[in-house]
Amino acid sequence: MNKIYKVLFAFGTRPEAIKMAPVINEFIEDNTFDVKIVLTAQHREMLDQVLSIFKIKGDYDFNIMINRQSLEFVTTTIIKRFSDILINEKPDLVFVHGDTTSTFSCALESFYKGIPVAHIEAGLRSNDLRNPFPEELNRRLADNLSTLHFCPTKNAKNNLLNENILSKGIFITGNTVVDALNKIISVSKINTNTNKEKNTKTILMTMHRRESVGVPITSVSKAVKEVIEENEDCELIFPVHKNPAVRDLVYPILGNKDRIKLIEPLDYISFIKLMNKSYFVLSDSGGIQEEAPTLRKPVLLTRELTERPEGISSGVVKLIGTDYKNVKRELTKLIKDKETYNEMISYKNPFGDGLASKRILLYVKNYFNLKCSNSAKTGEFE
């Protein structure tokens, strides 16, 4: 009788859940693996929404979310509770994703227990440990604690090679967010051919990162307000993060203004539908840089640098910073200049082709020397 390998997926935020879900489902459908799911759940409501969409249930739920939780609290709580689970379950492989505190904490405790770690979305680098904070350090540490590195792009793989991480454990898969988004588009019957002329151009805005709180959000909000006031054919929709520090800055500037709608955070499907109907996106998000190109939506990125340079080099994302004058200029240009807009939506998605999850399954089966019957494309994503 063939051995059943136990794999454990650990995550706690909505972005992790979105990008882990298609991988989890691939492993659940393969009878070679016993799948266990650990939810650290520092994002409670938003995490549950995604799990419901993809019909995933956790085997363990830390439910650690508290108001104004600190990084120290999240890190130490996860490490302690995850240790007990590893002792109980004794998995053959632990999956972590991306750059969250869950990613680092679970990778570290797995390393302590001598359990190999598979890092999905490995190798991204901004090369500034304070930006994004603490994500850049979390990802670097997780990479150095991992045995298997599933990189979304060739650039990410090269980052790892330059850091002397062994090439035999590095694989280019594409980003699993494309797999997840394709699933949502399919089940929700979203028509992605929406870049036609409309009477009103909807600008979707999100801004919430730690390094954005303060002058950056204030500066961008003031620029946005003036651009909307000066362009009567435009409206702004901003699902405002629940962080009080964000809300205290945004509402005094953008609240109670014509053609500006400040709304509560949306569930994932509703957010994708809103992004799909928008003209373009103004954001400091990491995931949106990967999702918007799938929907053929330009992204103006309100950050000083990005760990996802592929979007910049391919032309689908433009890095504009947070300076008031520059943000206003770039917003106005994309609204007024149809040629610039068309150029930004003419490129293919540099982040994935929808087969990343299948590649990860095949690479893991190879790692365990298992027979691979999956007929999906096995070559690396290019």
Catalytic residues: 99, 121, 135, 208, 210, 241
Any idea which residue has 């433009």 for tokens? 318
In the three-class reduction of DSSP (H, G, I as helix; E, B as strand; rest coil), residue 10 is classed as strand
| C-beta atoms surrounding 116 within 10 Å | 16
Q: How far is CA 70 from CA 16, 73, 84, 191, 230, in A?
A: 19, 5, 22, 41, 41
Please state, in angstroms and rounded to a whole number, the distance separating the CA atoms of residues 372 and 141.
31
Q: How far is CA 14 from CA 227, 266, 363, in A?
A: 31, 12, 25
| C-beta atoms surrounding 14 within 10 Å | 22
- 169 and 148 Cβ atoms separated by less than 8 Å: yes
Give kind and range of the element (H or E) at residue 179: helix 176-188
Token pair recorded at residue 82: 């995850």
Give me the sign of the Cα torsion angle 85, 86, 91, 93.
positive
- 112 and 135 Cβ atoms separated by less than 8 Å: no
Please state, in angstroms and rounded to a whole number, the distance separating the CA atoms of residues 149 and 144.
10
Q: Apex CA 43: angle with CA 41 and CA 49, to 5°?
A: 95
